[in-house]
Chain A
């Protein structure tokens, strides 16, 4: 959609530059229609690398949604939602599951259910999604106090720092009560880094030792599982609850699923209603999610391959820097090298004019996220546009 908007507004500028490139001054100028067609082909190509949430429903999903068996999931249960929840519980090796409208609600419910007593504290990474991108809801809505511990570049939090952050119950007169530790796998802000099963189990042991619960923000747990070659249920075995996104790399249009014990999910269902997430004939969305689970988990490895290819290519471009060690799944952070004449704004704009969308993280950083609706030729196209963008700014 953005591509076609660009086409209208940028057409004139690109016609000019196109005719310069083809040396149109030496021959009869291409007809406006011809030029427009070439240009239109250029700018209406849409390579959306802003996030893996942009994935659109496939034909199979649309067919499934149209014929989904549904019922009122609040008054009773929706049969298709039940199918999805049963399947997810099985896949994740937990007793029960609950469909929720978003990953934010998934995390919010999990933190609030584990911390249902007023005066609770949760230990989490200072650079995790819950802390940075969820509007501080666990506090502003849930009244839970967040104890932030430094996230390392690889997405982990040092075990000894976690332990040091656990409140000593003898200080309870002035301390909140630590009830929960949260991990994030894969860890987005460090570039989609994977937490190993060994690390996860060690954190689980610390939690158990201190009578705490462990929640994993597994928005991209399937990516981590594919990258590590560890089955997803093994990967989250130590966790009391996990929040799993279906609307990201798995490609469903909407939703996440939380998994945990039966008792946990019963409380979660009630809190979901309170937050306003109790939807009626929800089987429509769950039908698409079931298709997504069947069809797209197997495609994640190829997203990771394309990501590595793009990352390597970008790292070759003088003026850009990608940390190759940090490319484990489907996310790339691209830094502008000091002294380079280009800026994130200029690259961002140049790419947008050519139908490539990505995210500006801050002054000197861009983010790219791959998903199954990005083809190998999209990756090539993106790489060449990046090359041109940087060359132009460096006066080549």
Chain B
């Protein structure tokens, strides 16, 4: 009995985030053999190669490797808003606004102007325009310099902003002399889901922050892309923030493998997400808005009559080895990545079914 139970719980299906991906064998080999040099005193060759490749993929002039998406966004906002008294327009439910410790303000002195995020991740264009400060009021207003979008949009469930929407926002920005930054932590997911090449998708943006440590599966890092002059300033600010690392090619070598191997696996992460979403929606007591499952993220609502809560369900699932993220009292989040197999997905669904039905698991709990 104990042996069966042990077998049950040592299976781990980590659905907390796509950041949990561990380096693959090819990545480990690449890291061990990476050609490196001091990237502060000069250029690390593996880092240089990664940055060149990312610039090309995104259709921008230059790129810069940074330790995290948070630093990627922080640098981008602060470089675009390098004059004191700046304001940035962004979604009230965006990652920069909710999960980055308010750094653009507390460290960068930039004032955030939030605009309501719709359920599909967009902000209404007319609300964006209404939020742009009239320069005639400058005696009492900060100066709007930047608009930020997020694609795919995390908090609405990995929703994709279309290339048409992105370009319309780009036009508004241009019309008012503003810059456009895209938090593209999961831009590859959006690109795959929409069937639009990444460079086309971000063409209207002056800068993009792209995570390599999420669905693409690299162990560490993000890359910011933009014009040569933008990246030059970004490099300097990166040093100021303390992100200037030395023989960083080790991490970049893994990221290059990730780019070559894992972008094409995203579509199957999306398939898995849709499969699970449909299955979960069938479970009495749970509700998933399946039309909102566009990429690799699922938000699960726990209905009042279900007899369970987010905290309880999360704990029950943990006993099956399934890790998810409770978000509030009656909401859960599940995120897919390439290290979740088809059989993991089926196992997860059956565990959800059992846990919600209140079935004791075979440990006798």
Contact = CB atoms under 8 A, between A and B. Distances in A.
Interface of A: 1-2, 50-51, 53-57, 62-63, 65-67, 70-72, 74-75, 100-102, 104-106, 108-109, 134-137, 140-142, 247, 253-255, 270, 273-282, 284-285, 288
Given A1-B45, A104-B239, A141-B107, A284 B250 contact: yes
B29 A66 contact: yes
Contact of A75 (B16, B22, B66): B16
Interface stretch (B34-42, B274-282, B306-314): B34-42
The interface centre, meaning the residue of B16, B28, B250 with most chain A CB atoms within 10 A of its CB, is B250
Interface in B243-275: 243-248, 250-251, 254
B244 A104 contact: yes
Given A279-B220, A284-B31, A284-B250, A142 B45 contact: no
A276 B108 contact: no
B327 interface: no
B243 A102 contact: yes
A254 B242 contact: no
Contacts of B16: 72, 75
A102 B240 contact: no
Majority SS at the chain B contact face: loop
Given A104-B240, A276-B75, A281 B246 contact: no
Given A65-B31, A104-B240, A285-B251, A141 B71 contact: no
Nearest to A137: B240
Interface residues of B, number: 52
A65 B140 CA distance: 54
Interface stretch (B98-106, B189-197, B297-305): B98-106
B240 A134 contact: yes
Contacts of B20: 71-72, 75
B221 A56 contact: no
Interface string B34-63: 001110111001000000000000000000
A274 B22 CA distance: 24
Contacts of A276: 66-68, 70-72, 74-75, 103, 241, 243
B236 interface: yes
Contacts of B70: 273-274, 276, 278
Q: Which 10 A-B pairs have CB atoms at the shortest separation, nearest pair first?
A: A105-B242, A276-B71, A253-B247, A281-B219, A66-B32, A135-B240, A274-B101, A276-B70, A104-B242, A274-B103
A359 to B, nearest CB: 9
A275 B242 contact: yes
B19 A275 contact: no
Contacts of A57: 36, 247, 250
B79 to A, nearest CB: 13
> For B23, B74, B247, which residue has the most chain A Cβ atoms within 10 angstroms?
B247
Nearest to B78: A141
Interface of B: 16-17, 19-23, 28-29, 31-33, 36-38, 40-42, 45, 66-68, 70-72, 74-75, 100-103, 106-108, 213, 219-221, 236, 239-248, 250-251, 254
B334 to A, nearest CB: 14
Contact of B219 (A75, A100, A135, A280): A280
Contacts of B66: 276
Given A66-B29, A140-B240, A254-B248, 20 more contacts: A66-B28, A75-B16, A102-B243, A102-B245, A104-B242, A108-B241, A136-B240, A141-B240, A254-B250, A270-B101, A274-B100, A274-B101, A275-B103, A275-B243, A276-B241, A280-B219, A280-B220, A281-B220, A284-B23, A285-B220
A65 B32 contact: yes
16 contacts: A65-B31, A65-B32, A70-B23, A72-B19, A101-B245, A102-B242, A135-B239, A247-B245, A274-B107, A276-B103, A277-B243, A280-B219, A281-B21, A284-B254, A285-B220, A285-B250
Contacts of B67: 101, 276-279
Contact of A254 (B22, B240, B246): B246
A74 to B, nearest CB: 7
B29 A137 contact: no
B41 A100 contact: no
Contact of B246 (A71, A134, A253): A253
A279 B108 contact: no
B22 A281 contact: yes
Nearest to A69: B22
Contacts of B32: 62-63, 65-66
B72 to A, nearest CB: 7
A279 B36 CA distance: 20
A280 B36 contact: no
A140 B17 CA distance: 34
A278 B68 contact: yes
Nearest to A64: B32
B37 A1 contact: yes
A135 B82 CA distance: 14
B255 to A, nearest CB: 12
Contacts of A106: 242
Contacts of B239: 104, 135
